[in-house]
Amino acid sequence: MEIGIDKIGFFAPHMYVDMTNLAVARGVEPEKFTIGIGQSQMAVAPITQDPVTLAANAALEILDEEDRAQIDMVLFGTESGIDNSKSAAVYVHHLLGLKAEARAVELKQACYGATAGIQLAKGHIALHPESKVLVLGSDIARYGLKTSGESTQGAGAVVMVISAAPRILALDNDNAFLSNDIMDFWRPIYSEQAFVDGKFSNEQYVHFFNEVWKQYKEKTGNDLADFEAICFHLPYTKMGWKALRTELPNADESTQERLKANYQISTAYNRNIGNIYTGSLYLSLLSLLEQKEDLQAGAKIGLFSYGSGAVGEFFTGTLQPGFQRMLKKTDHENLFATRRELTVAEYEKIFEETLPKDGSTIELDIESDPAAICVAGMQDNKRLYINKEHLIEQK
């Protein structure tokens, strides 16, 4: 039985800051951000969007009534969750009107959370082939204004329906994975912002890629030449390239050219969104699927997932016939085309807006946010969510 990605949806906030303008404001050469880091634009979340609403908005575009009847598990990967007890999955389950007979859980291991969700979903579907699992990767990446991580912030969500007989990507069962307790990136529960040892995290990312790739090759006998493209977790678009280029010299020239060209295509959306942590690898996959014109069914795609702290995994899949019909390419291009550019001063003001932490009531201006699902306010330490389309208000 084939199991894999049947549907894939994406959502990002309607605002962004241009990286050249940010560089000028921070007194650094724009090329450091646009070439050295490889980012052109950075998505900025208004106070009316959080990881729950980003994920719910991404899911809204792909779910139909059949999915709602069949989804019996919701796995939400995030590292910027809104509650240390209640899972983001439960909020999304309600906002999407999913059936009550479902499990809803949040998964955490830095940027690896959604990959963990996919692997657990595969096991669940192997036991229950009629089920569908909704896997969500949603985050707002915050390092703080004027920090060295600032240029690698971002906000957005990618969500997938995992099922038997998938119509986009059938996943193979030859995964290679690795865990090691390291402190390259972490966020203690008392902190709004992550701490990062940037250089060390870069080194470890490449090290984990080399290790899982070696393990994968030994396990399967496959080589780079077997792949049409390899997609990477992309905290910024230069990062995956730093890993890929260490292995390319072992391949023949045409394989090198193909993987290099397809790597560039696979960074297209990420370059204009920034880091979305758990969703970043899947945004890269989406860039490849939607922006590579001549991608053929049957092509083998490699995926490298990395979650600081750290867990790394290399896994693979095969594109299914007619996968293009399952994509929302025009909607996603429209999402990018209709975003509003912020000045750096506007971005800084929005960055510093926070929800009350003392139980007081606040009502937010949801009319200025075009998203269907928004945080409408807060009351008694509870976030109030609204779906403007269906007027489902949270109890």
Which strands make up the sheet holding 382-387, listed edge to edge?
362-363, 373-379, 382-387, 392-393
Helix (H, G, I), strand (E, B) or coil at 123: helix
Site track for ligand COA across 132-151, x = CB under 6 A: ----------------xx-x
Which residue in 14, 94, 124, 233 is the catalytic one?
Answer: 233
128 is catalytic: no
Nearest to ligand COA of 166, 240 (CB atom): 240
Question: Strand 362-363 relative to strand 373-379: parallel, antiparallel, unpaired?
Answer: antiparallel
Q: Closest approach of Cβ 281 to ligand COA, in Å?
A: 11
Pick the closest to residue 110 from 137, 79, 135, 84 (CA basis).
79
Contact flag: residue 297 with ligand COA (CB under 6 A)? no
Is residue 309 left, alpha or beta, with left meaning phi > 0 and alpha meaning psi from -120 to 50? Answer: left
Q: Closest approach of Cβ 391 to ligand COA, in Å?
A: 39
Nearest to ligand COA of 35, 225 (CB atom): 35
Contact flag: residue 36 with ligand COA (CB under 6 A)? yes
- Give yes or no for a contact between 134 and 75, defined as CB atoms under 8 angstroms apart: yes
Q: Which of 205, 208, 269, 347 binds ligand COA (CB under 6 A)?
A: 205
Phi/psi at 120 (nearest 5 deg)?
A: -70, -35
Contact flag: residue 246 with ligand COA (CB under 6 A)? no
79 is catalytic: yes
Contact flag: residue 202 with ligand COA (CB under 6 A)? yes
Q: Which of 155, 169, 196, 373 binds ligand COA (CB under 6 A)?
A: 196
Q: Is 275 annotated as a binding residue?
A: yes
Neighbours of 56 (CB within 10 A): 28
**Which residue stretch of 91-99, 201-209, 253-261, 330-338 sits at the interface with ligand COA (rule: CB under 6 A)?**
201-209
**Which residue stretch of 193-201, 216-224, 330-338, 347-355 sits at the interface with ligand COA (rule: CB under 6 A)?**
193-201
Give the separation between CA 237 and CA 154, rounded to whole angstroms. Answer: 12
Q: Closest approach of Cβ 366 to ligand COA, in Å?
A: 31
Q: Closest approach of Cβ 260 to ligand COA, in Å?
A: 16
Q: Is 143 annotated as a binding residue?
A: yes
Query: What secondary structure does DSSP assign to 293-321, as a single string?
Result: TT--TT-EEEEEEEETTTEEEEEEEEEPT
Helix (H, G, I), strand (E, B) or coil at 183: coil
Contact flag: residue 32 with ligand COA (CB under 6 A)? yes
- Give yes or no for a contact between 42 and 19, defined as CB atoms under 8 angstroms apart: yes
Give the separation between CA 156 and CA 144, rounded to whole angstroms. Answer: 17
Contact flag: residue 43 with ligand COA (CB under 6 A)? no
Q: Closest approach of Cβ 333 to ligand COA, in Å?
A: 26
- Give yes or no for a contact between 139 and 12, defined as CB atoms under 8 angstroms apart: no
**Cis peptide leading into residue 310 (ω within 30°):** yes
83 CB-contact burial (10 Å; exposed 0-12 / middle 13-18 / buried 19+):
middle
Give the separation between CA 170 and CA 263, rounded to whole angstroms. Answer: 20
Give the separation between CA 195 and CA 184, rounded to whole angstroms. Answer: 8
Contact flag: residue 13 with ligand COA (CB under 6 A)? no
Q: Closest approach of Cβ 177 to ligand COA, in Å?
A: 16
Q: Which of 152, 267, 318, 387 binds ligand COA (CB under 6 A)?
A: 152
Contact flag: residue 308 with ligand COA (CB under 6 A)? yes
Give the separation between CA 383 and CA 361, rounded to whole angstroms. Answer: 10
290 is catalytic: no
Query: What secondary structure does DSSP assign to 48-75, as a single string?
Result: T--HHHHHHHHHHTT--HHHHHHEEEEE
Contact flag: residue 54 with ligand COA (CB under 6 A)? no
Q: Is 250 annotated as a binding residue?
A: no
Site track for ligand COA across 225-244, x = CB under 6 A: ----------xx--x-----
Contact flag: residue 29 with ligand COA (CB under 6 A)? yes
Binding site feature residues: 143, 242, 275
Binding site feature residues for (3S)-3-hydroxy-3-methylglutaryl-CoA: 143, 242, 275
Task: Give the interface with ligand COA as residue ranges (CB under 6 A).
Answer: 29, 31-32, 35-37, 148-149, 151-152, 196, 198-199, 201-202, 205, 235-236, 239, 308
For the annotated catalytic residues, the residue numbers are 79, 111, 233
